[in-house]
């Protein structure tokens, strides 16, 4: 009887191991030459859509990078962020953290071009991963080989956007959010560098400049002159519609300014400034502030890791 129990335990452990290895290699089933025979022009077609849109609107690369990040952090990189709300279902794009996402039309245009060239072959999730790489490169950032073969999802719920790391998060909340997706502390610091691109509305940082806590109205970890500038942009009353500021002064250039600003206590979000709260993350901030090359290498590796987290089942024929 005891030997039966032991063999059952071994069997269960073995099955768990098999299940775990399947789950943990789902990301690995992506490949660099996934479309080599079925849609060889995929990278060119996606790059053209992003380039054309960027030529008309310099905010497109920041929007695409953010869209990809927001997609991957809810249900994995399955392009569920692109789906429109239908009937009683409010989709991810209408969840509070996503209402300021824009440039969906770029992915729609790339998908249409790909459907004309190789119908039913390229997933929207792969288009978004490729577009994010192009967005970073067009802004002067690094490039990398994007593993392909993601599938698209059909489920998109606004309520699930609560899973996105918030700009008000402290370091332990950020670490937990990233580790749930198999991402390390280094991935967290490297991917935060995406904040070198784009614009933020007051709502994302007002917690630091008004009623910060019981003893301080303004976050004491904020550079005083920078705080004064933010207060003038985002006053407590009579704030201009859509008021906000660029994430860093070189807002359309992908560089390591973001890290240098954090060291000067001029990080915009709480979630930027808290990267100095721990020796490990602080060392990485200093390393990336000092070496653009080190940042670019780490960012490229972390983007591949983040975007390999896939949760879809099919190739959708339309983006939205």
Q: Any known ligand binding at 165?
A: yes
Half-sphere exposure of 139 (CA within 13 A, CB side): 30
Q: Any known ligand binding at 280?
A: no
Neighbours of 198 (CB within 10 A): 19
Q: Any known ligand binding at 76?
A: yes
Does the CA dihedral 307-71-193-218 come out positive or negative? Answer: negative
Q: Any known ligand binding at 320?
A: no
Which pair of tokens denotes residue 266? 């001029």
What ranges make up the beta strands (E) of the chain?
199-201, 244-246
Q: Any known ligand binding at 201?
A: no
Q: Any known ligand binding at 80?
A: yes
> Do 272 and 168 touch, CB atoms closer than 8 A?
no
Find the helix packing angle between 104-117 and 60-72, rounded to 10°. Answer: 80
201 included as an active-site residue? no
Q: Any known ligand binding at 26?
A: no
Q: Which value, in Å, is the radius of gyration of the alpha carbons in the chain? A: 21
Q: Dmax of the chain from CA atoms?
A: 77
> Do 157 and 91 touch, CB atoms closer than 8 A?
yes
Set 68, 70, 102, 216: catalytic member: 70
DSSP 277: S
Q: Any known ligand binding at 74?
A: yes
Neighbours of 136 (CB within 10 A): 26
d(CA 217, CA 259): 25
> Do 67 and 78 touch, CB atoms closer than 8 A?
no
Contacts of 136 (CB under 8 A, 6+ apart): 61, 65, 142, 143, 254, 299, 303
Q: Any known ligand binding at 78?
A: yes
User: Residue 188, Cα to own-chain centre: how many angstroms?
Assistant: 10
Annotated binding site for substrate: 165
Q: Which residues are catalytic?
A: 70
Annotated binding site: 71, 74, 76, 78, 80, 92, 165, 195-196, 248, 251, 255
Annotated binding site for Ca(2+): 71, 74, 76, 78, 80, 92, 196, 248, 251, 255
């Amino acid at each position: 009887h005891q030997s039966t129990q032991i063999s059952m335990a071994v069997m269960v452990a073995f099955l768990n191991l098999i299940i775990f290895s399947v789950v943990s290699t789902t990301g690995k089933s992506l490949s660099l030459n996934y479309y080599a025979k079925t849609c060889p022009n995929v990278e060119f077609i996606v790059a053209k859509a992003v380039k054309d849109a960027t030529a008309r609107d310099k905010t497109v690369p920041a929007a695409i990078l953010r869209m990809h990040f927001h997609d991957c952090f809810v249900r994995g990189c399955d392009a569920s962020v692109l789906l429109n709300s239908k009937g009683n279902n409010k989709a991810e794009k209408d969840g509070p953290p996503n209402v300021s996402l824009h440039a969906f039309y770029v992915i729609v245009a790339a998908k249409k071009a790909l459907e004309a060239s190789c119908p039913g072959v390229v997933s929207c999730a792969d288009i978004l991963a490729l577009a994010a790489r192009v967005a970073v490169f067009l802004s002067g950032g690094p490039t990398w080989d994007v593993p392909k073969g993601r599938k698209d999802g059909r489920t998109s719920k606004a309520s699930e956007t609560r899973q996105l790391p918030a700009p008000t998060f402290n370091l332990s909340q950020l670490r937990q959010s990233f580790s749930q997706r198999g991402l390390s502390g280094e991935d967290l610091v490297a991917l935060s560098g995406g904040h070198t691109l784009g614009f933020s509305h007051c709502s994302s940082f007002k917690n630091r400049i008004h009623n910060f806590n019981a003893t301080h109205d303004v976050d004491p970890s904020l550079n005083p002159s920078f705080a004064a500038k933010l207060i003038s942009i985002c006053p407590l009353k009579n704030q201009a519609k859509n008021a906000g500021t660029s994430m860093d002064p070189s807002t359309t250039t992908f560089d390591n300014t973001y890290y240098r600003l954090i060291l000067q206590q001029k990080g915009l979000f709480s979630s930027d400034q808290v990267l100095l709260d721990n020796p490990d993350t602080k060392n990485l901030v200093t390393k990336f502030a000092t070496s653009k090359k080190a940042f670019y290498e780490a960012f490229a590796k972390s983007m591949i890791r983040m975007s390999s987290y896939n949760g879809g089942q099919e190739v959708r024929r339309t983006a939205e």
